[in-house]
Amino acid sequence: MKRKIDQTEEPEVAATPTKKPSETKATWDNLGLSPRLLQGVAQLNWHNPTDIQAKAVPLALEGRDILAKSGTGTGKTAAYVLPVLEKVLQRKEKEAKGAAAATS
């Protein structure tokens, strides 16, 4: 059952910085991905992130929930999977450092 919004209540909308189209285009390097994932992205010949990827990946890396709508073939799956892979790689790296410290 859907909950009706009170007249005084407004849905929460995440604040997104407003950028002019003339500003610099997003690159994979400035999305916060690790070098290993950047290498994988380069091997796939993904030169620049799509709009949905540029907006969703940084938010997902911050742990924010994302509800996005974009057309077929715009990279929604990569926008979801890349932050998940980033967290898995970070966890593995942390576990490896912990195991190395325990054996020293």
Q: Is residue 6 part of a domain?
A: no
What's the structural domain count of the chain? 1
Residue 80: phi and psi, rounded to 5, are -85, -45
Residue 47 structural domain: 28-65+74-103
Look up tokens 């929460």; give the residue. Answer: 12
Q: Is 16 helix (H, G, I), strand (E, B) or coil?
A: coil
Q: Is residue 57 part of a domain?
A: yes
Give the sign of the dihedral formed by CA 84, CA 37, CA 64, CA 93: positive
The pTM of the full predicted model, rounded to 2 decimals, is: 0.70
Q: Is residue 60 part of a domain?
A: yes
Tell me, what's the pLDDT at 91? Answer: 92
Tell me, what's the pLDDT at 22? Answer: 45
Q: What is the pLDDT of residues 16-69, one digit of tens each?
A: 555 554 457 889 999 999 999 999 999 999 999 999 999 999 999 999 999 999
Q: Is residue 45 part of a domain?
A: yes
